[in-house]
Structure 1
Amino acid sequence: MTVHIGATPDQIAETVLMPGDPYRARWAAETFLEGAELVNEVRGMLGFTGMWRGHRVTIQGSGMGMPSLSIYANELISTYNAQTLIRIGSCGGMQPHVGIRDVIIAMTASTITSPSSGILKELNYAPCADWGLLRAAVAASEGRNSKTHVGGIYSSDVFYAERPDLDEQMVRHGILAVEMEAAELYTLAARHGRRALAILTVSDHLQTGEALPPEERERSFGDMVEIALEAAFSDGPAD
């Protein structure tokens, strides 16, 4: 057990999906996993472990923002030996061709600052996804109803940002969407030699002001979860 995850080491799988919202973790576990069992509820941050097509999977909530995700990812890696960590979450679209409900597979995750900034100091580190996971996710996305985009995203350390000048430059430089966790996940995975990827569903749009009502978000996130699961086990045997 760790400070924030109350599971025993044998209760956490090597493959972990990480939604920010603990209730989304419960929805995903109940919808996609067989025999899902609650393995963590410390501070209400729910985690479940079950089976998907013969593979053992944990779905653990990570909270909102890079500091919160960093806590859970660090504990999953250091204590529970998680090898593959895939963020599944929502994001805000930034490009005109990116629509509500579209799926974004994040190749890179730019950020101004993250919990790892104190270690990296003056280095302008470029966090990126694991290539094998990225390639498998792109393959898994083909033929689905959701339109999929692959490219760079922005991981913000604030939700209520007031930098229209920064938004303008990100749009200019092709950033597809904004969220709050992926850059730190990619950095931690690189540091510890693990595989990481972020697969996101566009729930709102910074340019158009469109947004999915809360009751429609879960129904729109199914493709994202399926892509994540297929990518995680595209070339490996069942546990």
Structure 2
Amino acid sequence: MSVPTPHNEAIEGQIAPFVLMPGDPLRAKKLAETYLTDVKRFNAVRNMFGYTGTYQGHVMSVMGSGMGMPSIGIYSYELFNFYGVESIVRIGTAGALSERARLRDLVLAQGACTDSNYANQFNAPGTLAPIADFGLLRGAAEQAERLGYPVQVGNVVSSDAFYNDDETVNGRWARMGALAVEMESAALYLNAMRAGKRALTILTITDQLVTDEHLSSEERQEGLVRMMEVALGLAVSQDA
């Protein structure tokens, strides 16, 4: 397939090799307007906004992914395979499955367990393990530690169901050591693995599902700022 695609109106050269990918396209817009200079929008198809700009002299892009693995699966596939993107860092929110992960903590998804059948398409002779790129993972951990932000590293769960009829499912993932649950990382990691590219998910814990604690809207914004600072610092360090 050539570009533009049915989901992205960008032409060749408009998207940087390093892309930050929040789920919410309006968050992508806010990130671009707040942190980047010389910003140009490259996509508005289906209101899935994408922008390219400069941060501390480094060119990068930011684009929404939408919710769930089918959505991020489409956008990340096209970025990796049609637009020459080398690295995608998902920045999102999650619910903690472990008491280790406290409200406002950052979680770096070393691996992404999943209840999805997304990996079936690759016809692997066994069970694929969706994992992050180690260079991005190490770089993000270093950025968080440098900034003094609490960070956890480990497995997360990428679930197809936000409202799960099985009320025991979170506990069963937790006893296998999963730190948090979200809905996108496994598809992103699998697409990156297949394309020979790099991916990482950085999450902010906004809901503690074990203790039933939740951040207010103002507290969520504080946590998201921390995550964006780590992600932007990572982008600069990778481009150095």
Picking from 194, 198, 223, the partner of 2:197 is 194
Relative distance call for 1:205 and 1:236 in structure 2 (3 A) is same
- Runs of 4+ residues over 6 Å off in structure 1: none
Distance 1:117 1:110 in 2: 14
Residues 1-239 of structure 1: pairs in structure 2 closer than 5 A:
1-120=4-123, 123-237=126-240
The one-letter code sitting in structure 1 at the alignment partner of 2:14 is Q
1:144-171 deviations in whole A, cap 9, x for unaligned?
A: 3431101110000111013233211211
Superposition TM-score, scaled by structure 2 size: 0.93
Relative distance call for 1:235 and 1:10 in structure 2 (3 A) is closer
- Unmatched tracts of structure 1, length 5 or more: none
Query: Secondary structure of 1:204's partner?
Result: strand
Distance 1:39 1:48 in 2: 6
Q: Displacement of 1:121 after TM fit? A: 6.1
- Unmatched tracts of structure 2, length 5 or more: none
Query: Secondary structure of 1:56's partner?
Result: strand
Relative distance call for 1:48 and 1:218 in structure 2 (3 A) is farther
Distance 2:220 2:38 in 1: 24
Contact in 2 for aligned 1:66/1:114 (Cα 8 Å)? no
Relative distance call for 1:66 and 1:114 in structure 2 (3 A) is farther
Distance 2:61 2:207 in 1: 27
Q: Displacement of 1:122 after TM fit? A: 6.3
- Which range is displaced more, 217-226 or 207-216? 207-216
Query: Secondary structure of 1:92's partner?
Result: strand
Q: Displacement of 1:127 after TM fit? A: 0.6
The one-letter code sitting in structure 1 at the alignment partner of 2:17 is E
The one-letter code sitting in structure 2 at the alignment partner of 1:47 is G
- CA-atom RMSD, angstroms? 1.6
Q: Displacement of 1:201 after TM fit? A: 0.5
Contact in 1 for aligned 2:56/2:236 (Cα 8 Å)? no
